[in-house]
Amino acid sequence: MKKSIIKSAKTKDAAIELALDEIGKSKDEVEIEILEEESSGFLGLIGNKDAVVRVSYEEDIKEALSNLEREIESTKSFGTENEDFEADKDIEAPEEIVEIKEDEKETLKTDIEEKDQEIEVIEEKKEVVDYGRAKQQSDIDKFYESKELLENILKAMHFENVSVIGNLEDNIIKLEAKVDEKDTGIAIGKGGVTLDAIELIVRKAVDSRRNNVRLNIDINNYKKRRDEKIIDLAADTARKVAKSKKSWNLRYMNSYERRLAHEEISKHKNVSSHSEGVEPRRYVVVDYIEE
């Protein structure tokens, strides 16, 4: 019967050793799967992550069956070891007893195999639950690592009145930072380049993409205001095109901004949209269409 256990430690080798010690096996007797690699974090200080491994092995039930067989075999000698019983040749009870025990032997073997299968199913379900919990805990850890790192970066940039709040929604870490209003332009950068760079640093530090976690950072509601402007611009343009029946080009946008524009334009009648140009000079074109 195949079983497996999941262990975590500072390094994958340490996690493997923990598992081997618990099951009393050597590396040659098991299958090892690395679920998560260890990480030293950003600059070796923030974002440390333990390694998680799954060690699978075959549990030998032959010895248990052998013990059972020896116990059953011992009952066969009951008739020959008892001299008083052996003296009476007319009694057929010993042979009948042996036949019953043989049937019981096969039945017990079957029962054990069925129980082992049930245990295996339970163990597999337990592994799924344990790994799911480990994944959930890992996401929570990444949220707090990201929040702490963002605060440290903004303080290291000498911004005043730094505060960071946020939440974890599904697989998206959303962080909203506040700095002094007079520092907003510096923190954001032209066209949001500084903000994008900060977000990239935090994402790489916590290795969010490897764990299938998305990260979104905003400072002083810059992205929220920008998104609202883009949506308003797309809606106004859609109305103009529908009225004039002439195509209209929007300004250059990044992929995220273009997606917002396309989504808003799709809500309006008699218009459609597509993108043209080459990054970073790629833009949305709004066309008139007949119903």
User: pTM of the prediction?
Assistant: 0.49
Position 123 confidence tier, pLDDT thresholds 50, 70, 90: low
Q: Are residues 215 and 275 in the same domain?
A: no
Phi/psi for 287 (5° steps) reads: -115, 150
pLDDT at 1: 58
Provide the pLDDT confidence category of residue 85 given band limits of 50, 70 and 90: very low
Q: Classify strands 214-219 and 30-36 as parallel, antiparallel or unpaired.
A: unpaired
> Given 193, 220, 247, which residue is the final one in a domain?
220
Contact 57, 22 (CB under 8 A): no
147 and 186 share one domain: yes
Q: How far apart are CA 213 and CA 208, in angstroms?
A: 5
Report how far residue 46's alpha carbon sits from residue 214's, in angstroms, rounded to the nearest whole number: 18
Do 210 and 247 lie in one domain? The reply is no
> What is the pLDDT confidence band of residue 64, given thresholds at 50, 70 and 90?
very low
Look at residue 88 and tell me whether its pLDDT is greater than 50: no
Question: Do 191 and 240 share a domain, yes or no?
Answer: no
For the domain that residue 182 is a member of, what is the CATH number?
3.30.300.20
- Same domain for 280 and 213, yes or no, is no
User: Could you tell me the two tokens for 24?
Assistant: 């009393």
At 192 the pLDDT is 87
Distances (CA, A) of 255 to 135, 183, 262: 30, 27, 10
Number of domains in the chain: 3
What's the mean pLDDT in 72-100? 46
**Cα 175 to Cα 169: distance, rounded to the nearest angstrom:** 11
**58 touches 2 (CB < 8 A):** yes
Establish if 78 belongs to a structural domain: no
Written as one string, the DSSP assignment of the chain is -EEEEEEEESSHHHHHHHHHHHHT--GGGEEEEEEE--B--BTTTB--B-EEEEEEEEPP-HHHHHHHHHHHHHHHTHHHH-HHHHH-TT--HHHHHHHHHHHHHHHHHHHHHHHHHHHHHHHHHHHHHHHHHHHHHHHHHHHHHHHHHHHHHHHHTT-SS-EEEEEEETTEEEEEEE--GGGHHHHH-GGGHHHHHHHHHHHHHHTTGGGT-EEEEEETTHHHHHHHHHHHHHHHHHHHHHHH---EEEEE--HHHHHHHHHHHTTSTTEEEEEEEETTEEEEEEEE---
User: Do 216 and 233 sit in the same domain of this protein?
Assistant: no
Cα(103)–Cα(34) distance, rounded to whole angstroms? 46
Are 258 and 225 in contact by the 8 Å Cβ rule? The answer is: no
> Residue 52 phi/psi, 5° resolution?
-125, 130
**216 and 147 within one domain:** yes
What are the φ/ψ torsions at residue 251 (nearest 5 degrees)? -70, 170
Q: Does residue 126 belong to any structural domain of this protein?
A: no
The residue among 185, 203, 220 that closes a domain is: 220
The answer as to whether 106 is a domain residue is no
pLDDT computed for residue 61 by the predictor? 55
Output the pLDDT for position 197.
92
Q: Which residues contact 218 (CB under 8 A, 6 or more apart)?
A: 174, 175, 176, 177, 195, 224
**Does the residue 215 lie in any domain?**
yes
d(CA 91, CA 89): 6
User: Which range of residues forms the domain containing residue 180?
Assistant: 140-220
Task: Choose one of 186, 205, 220: the last residue of a domain.
Answer: 220
Residue 145 · residue 40 · CB < 8 Å: no
Say if 253 falls within a structural domain: yes
User: Does residue 95 fall inside a structural domain?
Assistant: no
Give me the count of residues in the chain.
Answer: 291
Q: Is 286 exposed, middle or buried (0-12, 13-18, 19+ CB in 10 A)?
A: buried
Residue of 117 and 245 predicted with greater confidence: 245
pLDDT, greater one: 88 or 33: 33
pLDDT in tens, 143-184: 888 999 999 999 999 998 999 999 988 788 999 999 999 999
For residues 213 and 272, state if they share a domain: no
